[in-house]
Amino acid sequence: MIGVVSFEHVGMSRQWTYDEQSFASSIADLVAMAIEKAERKRMEAQVEHLAYYDQLTKLPNRIYLYQQLQEVLKEAKQDNREFVVMFFDLDQFKHINDSLGHTFGDQLLLEVATRIKTSIREIDLFARMGGDEFVLILPRIRQKEDAVLIAERINNAFKEPIKLENQELYITTSIGISVYPSDGEDEESLIKNADSAMYEAKGKGRNAYEFYSSFMSEQAEQRLLMETNLNKALDRKEFILFYQPIIDLNSNKMRGGGEALIRWNHPELGLQSPASFISLAEETGLIIPPIGYWVIQSVCEQIKLWEKQYDMHDFRVAINISVVQFEDERFVEKVKTILEGTNIQPNLLEFEITESVMQNMETSIAVLGELQKVGIKISLDDFGTGYSSLSILKHLPINNIKIDKIFIDDLRAENDETIVQNIIDMSQNMNFKVVAEGIEHEGQLDFLKHNHCDYGQGYFFNRPQAVSDFEKNFG
């Protein structure tokens, strides 16, 4: 039953005639047909919305995007004009999703979509491709600078932190831009090339935008080759460790330690530095924890070997710990297992973490505290490039501060000299040891010595070395 139609007769009570009954029945049928039609339209609209719109953000989805992009292409060809496709995603979104949960990740995506919508024009089409990937079509631009303006607006929309569930997150985006017709004459090419440009933006440090150029297609093919081989590299024993000495700046001698740095002996491309594959492994979710635990295991075994060969019992090695590894719930437990299995003293390990692990401050402090209880030393790496403040540092259970290389590179600039001086003074007042990264010439060394920096490393002393070469520093 759809509903009830009621008829009333005013006057004396009597039986309805056949014609009156037929009329009432016809009216009821017409009303039922109208209701059914309205319900059908409502259902069709609901089905259409499910088919063409993302259910979380309510943005157009991939299907709708491709349909509209075909229309924009048709009009652009007829009018002989350019238009722009932007492909972008959130930097480090997977880490946030894994550590804080998918419900939190969904809320974050909603806030992201809201901020981006306020940064674009009414005529632009903004769609969610899936996950944290979005596409923006700018159907009418006068010049490339129009696209730059909107890309900068999008990045600027995330300068202020996002506050969700008592968490304060700094989000950045990487944006790739392709332009019709120079970068593609069909929807697939334009989106694929914008995607390639986005990865180029990520490679330049994230929170950036990049226009497509033809060499990026070659890079995309290279990236695919790297990704395919990366899955097999650990099983094939293609990873090796290099070591770089850390120098006591008072004596100019190795302080009794160094930093372990992974290399990939790629079967076709040769020796690869971490810059060429670690970010890829993190972005794709490939094998980062296994690589990280392999590094810790290998370093511990190497320290044990050096203890036997050189009678060295105070040789500490620093290891970079990725955000993904740090967020593993069993991280501390697995480290303890490795230490027990190799029978080395925990104080011979130093874990270097970056400021990015502080997205979840409470958890980070708890994990760092557990590691220190075990006896492992903690260094805050790349200091000065993230979001650390004095109020945060007061509560962090760390031993050392490593000044980021970018400040050491520009020590001739007055501002950077002041920054480095302040970092050294502040750190030592808080009882942290200070390590300067990236020392490459004597002028930098003289400045750091004059300002009482404790330790340094860089090409001025030694490049990262294979084990056999590194051991020559022991004498």
State which CATH number among 3.30.56.10, 3.30.70.270, 2.30.40.10, 3.20.10.10 fits the domain covering 62-212.
3.30.70.270
What local confidence, expressed as pLDDT, does residue 262 receive?
A: 94
For residue 215, give both structure tokens: 């060499």
For the chain, the structural domain boundaries read 1-52, 62-212, 233-473
Alpha helices for 53-186 (secondary structure H)? 62-79, 93-100, 102-117, 144-156
Q: Could you give the CA distance from residue 149 to residue 177 in angstroms, rounded to a whole number?
A: 12
Q: Do the Cβ atoms of 132 and 79 come closer than 8 Å?
A: no
Q: Which CATH architecture has domain 233-473?
A: Alpha-Beta Barrel (3.20)
State the first-to-last Cα distance of the chain, in angstroms, to the nearest integer: 95
3-state secondary structure (DSSP) of residue 257:
strand
Strands 455-456 and 316-320: unpaired
**What does residue 234 show for φ and ψ, rounded to 5 degrees?**
-65, -45
What local confidence, expressed as pLDDT, does residue 389 receive?
A: 53
Q: Could you give the CA distance from residue 176 to residue 174 in angstroms, rounded to a whole number?
A: 7
Q: Could you tell me the mean pLDDT of each successive run of 10 residues in the chain, 475 residues long?
A: 62 69 73 71 60 87 91 92 92 76 87 91 91 92 87 89 81 91 91 89 80 75 76 88 94 84 88 81 69 94 92 88 84 95 94 79 86 94 63 79 86 74 88 92 92 93 93 82
Alpha helices for 379-413 (secondary structure H)? 390-393, 405-409
What local confidence, expressed as pLDDT, does residue 84 receive?
A: 94
What local confidence, expressed as pLDDT, does residue 45 receive?
A: 57
Are 62-212 and 233-473 equal in CATH topology?
A: no
What local confidence, expressed as pLDDT, does residue 59 receive?
A: 92
Q: Which run of H or of E encompasses 177?
A: strand 173-180
What local confidence, expressed as pLDDT, does residue 199 receive?
A: 85
3-state secondary structure (DSSP) of residue 398:
coil
Q: Could you give the CA distance from residue 142 to residue 147 in angstroms, rounded to a whole number?
A: 9
What local confidence, expressed as pLDDT, does residue 164 receive?
A: 84
